Structure 1
Amino acid sequence: MLVFYSGYGNKELDNHIDGQKLPRAKADYIQTVINDAQREPNTTFTGSGYTSLAIIYGVFSASNWAAPSIIAGLGPKLSMIAGGILYCLFLSSFLKPMTWSLYVGSVLVGIGAAVLWTAQGNFLTLNSDPDTMGRNSGIFWALLQFSLLFGNLYAYFAFGGEAYISRHTRITLFTVLTSLGAVGVIVMLALRTKVQSDDSSVSSDERNNTTSHGPLQAFKRSLHLMCTKEILFLSFGFAFTGFELSFWSGIYGTCVGATGFFGDEAKSLIGLTGIFVGVGQIFGELRESTLIDIYSLLGFLYSEDSAPAFAIYKFMQSLASAAAFLYSDYLLLQWQLFIIVIFGTMGTLGFFVVELSANRCQARDYAAVADGADRESSE
């Protein structure tokens, strides 16, 4: 039930705005809305969508180093709520676009995304064990991906027949999104602070390892993990998820919306592409299986200290996303796809190496336990 509430809360918060991405903000619409807002009469708005996205991912990347310390101080539940509030502030800035509010909001949502995504990974780990981590990760991501269906379905009908997004459409859209974000924050309030262990010999301090370490120790742990062999192997996969999510969440849809061949329906087709991407992710699971496996593997390897591990994952992912948005203005589409293929291949190989090593360690642990049980029974 905790996993359901966590996934549902993030589904409402992210409902249509994508990032891990914006970070879960649908970058296609950020760029499109900003471009069309500059065309409104008597406007002084000169903000750049891709500059905003670069700020978001740059701040997101840097903030991941501070996220474990924040979570160590506030706990995962309050950290998720705080991150959700910052999301809502960013969304509300589009009700009346101003250049300064766009960039300030970009900084805020970058911080909020780092805290939110690291906290929810830590929360998921604290409420799972090695046997349920994969299942709970799958439930979480499945609930999360439904945001692509509902949000893009709304956008498809809202933008239908509009050559550009009008002021009325923009205000309606972001009023709905901000309201859904607020609902997501409220849902998170229903989450339990921690799970009581069935084993009375395990103290609450041992169970809630996030708060058992201070903020400084959490930061030092992040630096130490960054240099370990396992993280270095997994870093290619982390970067791949960043390059890939930037492509489909911001670059691909923007290309569709800017294609003159589609005429007045081009903007609504952004929503249609998002719907089909969402359907593919829910039922095909090609991309989401990668994310689920990463969450499961990190939760297994670092079950005793998960916040720094998830922070490093989000750091690498957001750094790659920021790089993708920066070079998207300069590299042709085929070269952008080539980068994704290279990192996808290397990331897959690195993941297999780490997972194989983890499985061998687990097998040795099981064998040691079995040998001990046999010796006790023989005595």
Structure 2
Amino acid sequence: MNINLNICNVTITGLAFFFLFAAFQTASLTAQNVLEAVSKQRNNSFDGTGYTSLAIVYISFGLFNWFAPIVVMYLGEKYSMIAGSFCYALYIASYIEPFEWSLYSASLVNGIGAAVLWTAQGAFITDCSTKSNLNQHFSLFWGLFQANQIVGGLYAYLSLSNIDEISRTLRIRLYGGLLGCAIFGILLLFTLRKPHKTDNISHQQLINMEMNSSGDNLSELTPDYSTIQNRSTVFQSTLHSLRRSVKILITRPMICILVAAAFTGINLTFYSSLYASALGHCLHFGRNAKSYIGLAGLFIGIGEIVGK
């Protein structure tokens, strides 16, 4: 019964992320083509672009990752995930009737929320796990999560089939559906229950397990947030962790990770935005060009699942 509670929490988290990111990834894929249509409908008075919007999302995401633990420690993992998810929903909603100020403001908020969401997610899954089932729980989560682009891509494909331009009515229907999908994912997060504590692995133990094979002892560089009981010490502990994080940056494992992360960022830019936008402008595909944006997302999702 106790073990089932933790598995249930992991499953619900995976499903919540499935619905949330089915909406967000589809919104990202279609963003540039949708905003170009908005500009035409408003006689070029609208200058917002999907590329700029996503750049703001990921820049703010990367920067706020340094401070997200503060939010998670104050709100707890569950409500941090809920707060971060609302930021995603706000971003999706900004496309229903986009203005430059609202689009870019929502992009900034989304990036901040993403940092909080993913920090809380890792902590929550870890809290639901023991040393023996940690890998199993993360595999379950990622298995559910990675399927999001298949459903999102199929939705975009069906919505954008046989059209020449993305009209205002179609845009509202497309992003209204995505917003509803995201909100359903948020509602699932409200059903999460406090993880059952048995021999759950701590955050510090997780770090030590990951770093032991590298030959670098980072345990003294990384604080154990699970030992912090008094919220008055949160700010001081976080500042201390930031200083230690800077030290981690110059270690051999992190340098290797940064190189891989740079490649991942370039790859993400291509398949989450540029590739889909190019498909939507390919005249050879005729009226089906826009629908192939969704089809690309569908096959990207299949590839990610197979690759895992």
Task: With the length of structure 2 as denominator, give the TM-score of the two structures.
Answer: 0.82
Give per-residue Cα distances to partners, 1:341-370, cap 9 Å, x unaligned: xxxxxxxxxxxxxxxxxxxxxxxxxxxxxx
Aligned to 1:234: 257
Aligned position for 1:13: 20
Q: Is the Cα contact below 8 Å between 1:56 and 1:107 reproduced in 2?
A: yes
Counterpart position of 2:64: 63
Residues 75, 210 of structure 1: 8 Å contact kept: no
- What's the offset of the Cα at 1:41? 4.6
Please give the residue correspondences for 1:147-158 in structure 2 after superposition, counting only pairs within 5 Å.
Answer: 147-158=148-159
Aligned mate of 1:252, from 275, 294, 304 = 275
Q: Given residue 15 of structure 2, which amino acid in structure 1 is its aligned partner?
A: Y
Q: Which amino acid aligns with 2:303?
A: G
Q: Does 1:143 align with 2:150?
A: no
Q: Does 1:186 align with 2:193?
A: no
Q: For residue 99 of structure 2, what is the aligned residue in structure 1? A: 98
Q: Is the 8 A contact 2:14 2:140 kept in 1?
A: yes
- The equivalent residue for 2:161 is 160
Q: Measured at CA, do residues 197 and 215 of structure 1 come closer, stay the same or move farther in structure 2, by a change above 3 Å?
A: farther
- Report % sequence identity: 35
Aligned to 1:308: none
Aligned length: 272
Distance in 1 of aligned mates of 2:227 and 2:151: 34
Q: Alignment partner of 2:106: what SS?
A: helix
Q: RMSD between aligned alpha carbons?
A: 2.1
Q: Which amino acid aligns with 2:128?
A: N
Q: Secondary structure at the match of 2:117?
A: helix
- Mapped partners of 1:157, 1:165: distance in 2: 13
| Cα deviation digits, residues 62-98 of structure 1 (max 9, x gap) | 1111101111111111110000111111111111111
Match of 2:172 in 1: 171
Q: Note the residue ranges of structure 2 that are not aligned, 5 or more in a row.
A: 1-7, 201-223
Distance in 1 (CA, whole Å) between partners of 2:23 and 2:183 is 14
- The alpha carbon displacement at 1:210 in A equals 7.5
- Counterpart in 1 of 2:241? 221
> Does the C-alpha gap of structure 1 residues 274 and 240 become closer, same or farther in structure 2, counting only changes over 3 Å?
same
Q: CA deviation at 1:42?
A: 6.0
Partner residue in 1 for 2:132: 131
Q: 1:238: Cα distance to partner?
A: 2.9
Q: Which residue of 1 is the match for residue 296 of structure 2?
A: 273
| Cα deviation 1:297-337 (Å, max 9, x = unaligned) | xxxxxxxxxxxxxxxxxxxxxxxxxxxxxxxxxxxxxxxxx
1:33 matched residue in structure 2 = 34
Cα deviation code 1:43-66 (max 9, x no counterpart) = 742212211111111111111111
Distance in structure 1 (CA, Å) of the matches to 2:255 and 2:227: 23
Amino acid at match of 1:129: T
Higher mean C-alpha deviation, range 90-99 or range 25-34: 25-34
Contact 1:64–1:115 (8 Å) recurs in 2: yes
1:163 Cα shift?
Answer: 1.7
Query: 1:33 is aligned with what amino acid?
Result: V
- Report deviation, 1:27: 2.6
Q: Contact conserved, 1:72 with 1:210, CA < 8 A, in 2?
A: no
Structure 1: which 5+ runs fail to align?
Answer: 19-24, 200-206, 290-379
Structure 1 residue 186, shift from structure 2 partner: 0.9
Give the CA deviation at 1:226: 4.0
CA distance in 2, matches of 1:163, 1:112: 35
Q: Is this contact kept in 2: 1:7–1:141, CA < 8 A?
A: yes
- The residue aligned with 1:371 is none
Q: Distance in 1 between matches of 2:276 and 2:227?
A: 38
**How many Å apart are 1:170 and its aligned residue?**
0.6
The CA deviation at 1:195 is 2.8
